Amino acid sequence: MRPVGQLVWIRYAVLFAFLAAGALSLIWYRSPKRGLPYYDQFVHGQLKGWKQFGGSWTIDGDTIRNTSGERGAKLITGSPFWTNYEAEADVQLLGTACQTGSSCWGDAGILIRASDLDKGVDSYRGYYAGLRIYDQSLVLGRADYGWYELPPIPMPGGVKPNRWYHLTISAYECKIHASATTLDTGETASNSSIDPNCLRSGKIGLRDYLSGGIWRRVEVHALNRPSAFPASPSSYARIHGLETIVKPSPELSRRSSEIVQIDSIRLLAASRPAHVTVRGTVTLVTPHVYIQDATGGAEVGFAEQTSLKTGDEIEVTGDAHRDGLSVQIENATELSIAGVVPVPALSITPLQAAIGRYDGMFVELEGRVDSALHTDKSVVQLHLSGGQQEFSAISNTPQTATLFSKVEVGSLVRLRGICVLNSAYANDSLPFTLIVSSPDDLELVSGAPWWSGGHLAVMALGMLALGFLIHRLYSHAAQRRRLRDVINTIPAYVWSHLPDGSVDFVNDRWLEFTGLSREGALGENWATTIHPDDQSRFFADRETALSTGQAWACEVRVRGANGEYRWWFARNLPLRNRLGNIIKWYGAGVDIDDRKRAEQALRRSEAYLAEAQRLSHTGSWARSPAGETLYWSEESYRIWDFDPRQPPPNLHTLFQRVHPEDRDRVSENVKKAARERTDDEGDFRIILPNGTVRHVHAIGHPVFSANGEIAEFVGTIVDVTERKRAEKERERLRQLEADLAHLNRISMLGELATSLAHELNQPITGAVTSARACLNWLAHDPPCLERARAATARIEKDGTRAAEIINRLRAFYKKDASPQREVVDVVEIVREMFVLLHDQLDPQSIRILTRFAADVPKVMADRVQLQQVFMNLMLNAIDAMKGTGGELTIRLQTEGDHVLVTVSDTGVGLSSESTSQIFNAFYTTKPHGTGMGLAISRSIIEAHAGRLWASTNGTRGATFHFTLPADVRA
Amino acid sequence: MGSGGTVNIMRSIPTGSQCGARSVLRPTKLASILSLILTFTTLPSCRANRTEIEVISTTNKEAEHEGAQSAARGLGLRIRWSQSSQENDVESQIGLVDRAVSERYRGLILTPDGPRALMVPIQRALAAGMRVVVVGDTLPLRPQRNLSYIVNDDEMIGRMAAMRVGDVLDGRGEVAVVGIDPYSLNSLAIVSSFVSVIEQRFPKISVVDRRAATSSDLDSELVVNQILLSHPHVGAIFALDSRGTIGAYYALNARSLTNRIKIVGVQQTEELANAIRLHQIDAIIAEDGYQMGYQAVEAFAHGEAKSRGVLKLAPMLITADNVDSTAARPFLIFVRPAGWRSDYQ
């Protein structure tokens, strides 16, 4: 694309060219020598450039003639800016406005420096030189809407009609000169003048007064110096001070004779020609003379040549006869009567004309042009229709023919002319013909209807052409607009640069990104947008491409409008001409910054994944149903101990490393998963090349294609060797813990031995006593059975109590007692513990308080383990209060969906250090403690989804809390 | 010359009933066929216009009408008679011609009022393929294929008139001519023939005045009065139209000069026939209007329009001696016969 500045200059240049052309055209148009020298084109029948102001002007051969005989008819041509020039022509007066024995009038000549022209006798401004019959002289004067003339110069040999004179009139500044030469005799007259307030410029023209006239060889030449002018100032007359010349009106004589009306000639000439005299006005002089009176018109053939003009009122005497309905007068002689008042046309309809009553009359009618026939340059025949009739109109002069030829078919025209029924014109097919002499006799009423076939065709073609042009222009513009829109809206940064590397175009998106103006981006200014770290590489590659002409691409960071650099992928291609020379480079850049960031994120993610797999010893893989490995993660290589640089092993190779004892199972599982299209999961061992055995957990998942077939298996393999080892260790520790708990219980049992002995001694002693009493009662005579029975009952009760104590003890110290969860009433257990610990409590020093809530729910727990927890806590509390005494308080309450048990004492309490460590194994504050009681108790409580913790009391002692989930079923 | 009218002749054509009466069919089928026939017979393509002849005439052409009707009856043609309601209604005649062309009549028989003004319409009719017979007048158009003329023998009229004037003036005296239509070639031809015969056969008779036709009887009477003032010794008046004859009769009758000044007229009317019977008018040269109509239809029917060219029909001199003769009867038909009768048989 061309730079904007260059376009502006081009526009200024075009505008200047237009203005200069306009100024030159104006100067040329106003030039005083434009069109000079001038030569008429009458010989070619052309009247182009001439304008009529009255008269009836016709071209005849190489001459132009005015036959109207009116006063001051003018024919004008030339430039209004002609100043110093000379006009000349041969002039002949057609006739005179004179009567027998009377004075004659009339003149004909040439106008120069004519302006402000109008129809009328002296209706113009300019200089006129002419030959005048009245005083047989060369007349020179000036018209300024009034006539002023110099003293006329008598013309040697006089001025006569039908004689050629060569007339010259010239003007140089304010000097006016005229001369006339009789061509037959060579006799000459001239006249000169200086007009102080002269007319400076104007057109030329031909003019006559009454006489009519003929002109030929009209020439105009520019004058550069007044060579033809008299040198002596005294030779010049002064125009100012001359009197206005008023021409006398011609006095016409009348001849009385017996006059007949033209219309009546038809009756008179019924059988043979009748010698008649008619009086009428000349309506046509060529090609035939027609006269007209109030009743009709007639064609007149004169015995001798005449110089009649249209409008002449004459008397005609001759032999009248009838040709059809037309009246003709032959062998006629004429007598001029008066003036030059043309007959007005009778306005009639074509139907009236067709009936035949207006034969030979000057009529006006309207018709629509059906066709035009060009006979020659001076005759054009129009075929017209109107008022149910058809007729023709024939041009009688070249001017009329020219006008006829311009009339479009279908136009409605108003014509004035001589209505002729003569079959020579109408050709026996049309009722009449109109002979039209003057261009003024044709008026266009309305143009051809636009819907005519020709017009429609032209319009259609025009519309098609216009549509095609608009389509082309619009398409071109639209294409340019679309191309511009595309270039500016595509998600790319587009530019072009010249072969030397200077950028000449960037698109809007480029400007929007960089924030540079268009001017700021062109040339080499864009280079600042390249990241400094990339510039050396970028420009080196660019220089290489420019020198080699090879297309090139690169990834480069470009600075945006916000100062942030973004990665672009830029590609440049050269455009070559037919010779293969690079004329331009085109390039486009795509923002790949997001892709770059995504790639970095992906790489980071993959690293994280690899690290995660490494840390979790988890490898991932994918394989085809046929066993070909499609993907094999880095950790998989490590777990299976394969070289990561080698292709991933296939399934068969992998099976080689599966432990022989597991191989069949694994193989069967793989086959089963493929067969049943299910997941495959299992643990097995692998043997590495160094003999190491690893436990792995593998999961395979089939991935199905769109058609339901297994496309591939994806899965993971986890190295669970460490976990296996940990599980074994945990099992060992759990066993150890169980042993320790048993040991704890045994230990506690030792501590309880005395109490247990006392406890057991009581029922046994009671039972012995009761047995003795029973024997006594039985020994009575009679035996007191009632009392014996009561004694026996006491024996049974004591025995049962002793058995219960023994059973509880046995269960408590039983080593392999497995947890047996059941619904347990915590209140009952607390009371049982009071029974067990009864002897441990010193009633004098330790007071037991219970605070049981009303609705303590039961819990799902192992009774023995719960007893062990209570025993631990209560023994610890008793130990803490030995020697000092105190209160052992046990609270049971509900807290949410848990039962909260609190065992509180008022003993020595716990230090802050002890509070945090007393639940650790082997930590004890007692001299003979194992350090396992609280640790075991916490593990038991936590195994029951509860929590055990300790706290120090505010004043004395410590409190142990534990919670157990309430049994919702209770 | 005078007035005229229009006559159409139609050839017999199949009618709707003829189209549908060819076979005996079931009522339903017959109804369908009749419906179709009725439909098609109302279509323009089945209209009878293409076989009709439009006859366009001027006023007072009852004899011509009767002749045309008579010929049409004999030939089985249908004609449509169109007659101007007033004299010299050229525009109306042009309209009738154009209508006949647009309605596609087969032929046209025309008695023109303004011959030249009808040139173009007749050419349009010829271009449309119609046969045209121009009756009573000639046009600048030459006889050609489909165009023929049937006219009065104008020269004979002029000659008959001249001979009758010569007879009644006994070879000497003055005669005036009135009722000349200066824009009618027929009228001018009669005058020319009349003057020529007078000049040749009766050199002692001079034609002292010639007057154009007028538009009313009263104007004609005034014209004759002027002649009588200008030429008190005029012995005969030759009137080229019935209006001029009647005007002359009125003028002479008012001055009781009917016995001294003889009237020879052209164109017959019932009033003039009665005047002949009363010896107030010497003679009338009657046109054979009946034959004009008859011959025009005959020419059309026999295709003679393209070959006959110009048929001139001889006129008849009607005087008191023969006004009621059998020979004169066809020339003196002034009204249509009484009673209803179809134009078509």
Element (H, E) at A429: none
**Distance to chain A for B77, nearest Cα, Å:** 30
Which DSSP string do the residues of A748-785 spell out, in sequence order?
HHHHHHHHHHHHHHHHHHHHHHHHHHHHHHHHSSS--H
Disruptive mutation site among A260, A264, A271, A429 for chain B (greatest number of B CBs within 10 Å): A271
- In this prediction, residue A439 carries a pLDDT of 84
Please indicate if any CB of chain B lies within 8 Å of the CB of A424: no
**Distance to chain B for A395, nearest Cα, Å:** 22
Q: Where are the alpha helices (DSSP H) in B105-214?
A: 119-127, 154-168, 185-201
Read off the tokens for A639: 């777990």
The answer to whether the CB atoms of B182 and A388 lie below 8 A apart is no
B302 CB-contact burial (10 Å; exposed 0-12 / middle 13-18 / buried 19+) = exposed
Please indicate if any CB of chain B lies within 8 Å of the CB of A271: yes
Using a pLDDT cut of 90, give the percent of chain A over it.
30
- In this prediction, residue A811 carries a pLDDT of 62
pLDDT digits (tens, 9 = 90+) for A106-159: 889 999 999 988 888 888 899 999 998 878 899 998 888 878 888 888 999 888
Please indicate if any CB of chain B lies within 8 Å of the CB of A266: yes
The answer to whether the CB atoms of A356 and B195 lie below 8 A apart is no
For residue B39, the tally of other CB atoms under 10 A from its CB is: 10
pLDDT band for B27, please (50, 70, 90 cuts): low
Alpha-carbon gap, residue B78 to B67, rounded angstroms: 13
Helix axes A933-943, A863-880, angle to 10 degrees: 140
Using a CB-CB cut-off of 8 Å, the residues of chain B touching A392 are none
The answer to whether the CB atoms of B140 and A423 lie below 8 A apart is yes
Helix axes B62-75, B289-301, angle to 10 degrees: 30
The answer to whether the CB atoms of A270 and B183 lie below 8 A apart is no
For B189, name the nearest residue in chain A, comparing CA atoms only. Answer: A270
Please indicate if any CB of chain B lies within 8 Å of the CB of A383: no
Read off the tokens for A403: 């006008």
**Distance to chain B for A321, nearest Cα, Å:** 12
Among candidates B49, B63, B71, which has minimal Cα distance to B5?
B63
- In this prediction, residue B344 carries a pLDDT of 38
Disruptive mutation site among A267, A383, A419 for chain B (greatest number of B CBs within 10 Å): A267
A271, A325, A354 ranked by CB distance to B117: nearest: A354
pLDDT band for A384, please (50, 70, 90 cuts): very high
Pairing assessment for the beta strands A552-559 and A565-576 based on DSSP bridges = antiparallel
Alpha-carbon gap, residue A926 to A879, rounded angstroms: 9
**Distance to chain B for A361, nearest Cα, Å:** 14
Using a pLDDT cut of 70, give the percent of chain A over it.
89
**Distance to chain A for B165, nearest Cα, Å:** 17
Asked whether the predicted pLDDT for residue A249 surpasses 60, the reply is no
Alpha-carbon gap, residue A171 to A681, rounded angstroms: 127
Using a CB-CB cut-off of 8 Å, the residues of chain B touching A384 are none
pLDDT digits (tens, 9 = 90+) for A72-94: 889 999 999 999 999 999 999 88
Alpha-carbon gap, residue A202 to A82, rounded angstroms: 6
Which DSSP string do the residues of A815-826 spell out, in sequence order?
TTPPP-EEEE-H
For A391, name the nearest residue in chain B, comparing CA atoms only. Answer: B120
Read off the tokens for A735: 């066993």
pLDDT band for A782, please (50, 70, 90 cuts): confident
Which residues lie closer than 8 Å to A830 by C-beta, 6 or more apart? A850, A852, A870, A890, A892
Please indicate if any CB of chain B lies within 8 Å of the CB of A322: yes
The answer to whether the CB atoms of B210 and A270 lie below 8 A apart is yes
Please indicate if any CB of chain B lies within 8 Å of the CB of A325: yes
- In this prediction, residue A822 carries a pLDDT of 87
Read off the tokens for A306: 């005449």
Mean pLDDT over B225-244 rounds to 92
Please indicate if any CB of chain B lies within 8 Å of the CB of A260: no
Q: Where are the alpha helices (DSSP H) in A312-436?
A: 350-355, 398-406, 423-426
Q: Where are the alpha helices (DSSP H) in A224-331?
A: 262-268
Mean pLDDT of chain A, nearest integer: 84
**Distance to chain A for B223, nearest Cα, Å:** 14
Dihedrals φ, ψ of A490, to 5°?
-60, 150
pLDDT digits (tens, 9 = 90+) for A636-682: 999 999 998 888 998 888 999 999 999 999 999 988 988 898 998 99
- In this prediction, residue B177 carries a pLDDT of 95
- Does residue B93 sit in helix, strand or coil? helix
- In this prediction, residue A103 carries a pLDDT of 57
Among candidates A909, A905, A907, which has minimal Cα distance to A889?
A905
Mean pLDDT over B76-95 rounds to 80
Mean pLDDT over A371-392 rounds to 85
Q: What Å distances lie between residue A65 and A565, A789, A816, B40, CA to CA?
A: 92, 185, 157, 70
A271, A388, A432 ranked by CB distance to B192: nearest: A271
Asked whether the predicted pLDDT for residue A838 surpasses 80, the reply is no
Please indicate if any CB of chain B lies within 8 Å of the CB of A719: no
ipTM, 2 dp: 0.77
- Does residue B160 sit in helix, strand or coil? helix
A267, A421, A423 ranked by CB distance to B180: nearest: A267
Model pTM score? 0.48
Give the lowest-confidence range in A210-224, A922-936, B165-179: A922-936
Asked whether the predicted pLDDT for residue B7 surpasses 50, the reply is no
Sign of the CA dihedral with B266 first, then B271, B273, and B275 last: negative
Q: What Å distances lie between residue A192 and A128, A163, A230, B248, CA to CA?
A: 12, 24, 8, 77
Using a pLDDT cut of 90, give the percent of chain B over it.
32
Alpha-carbon gap, residue B130 to B137, rounded angstroms: 19
Among candidates A25, A22, A36, A23, which has minimal Cα distance to A201?
A36
pLDDT digits (tens, 9 = 90+) for A327-377: 889 988 887 776 656 778 888 999 888 888 888 999 999 999 998 888 776
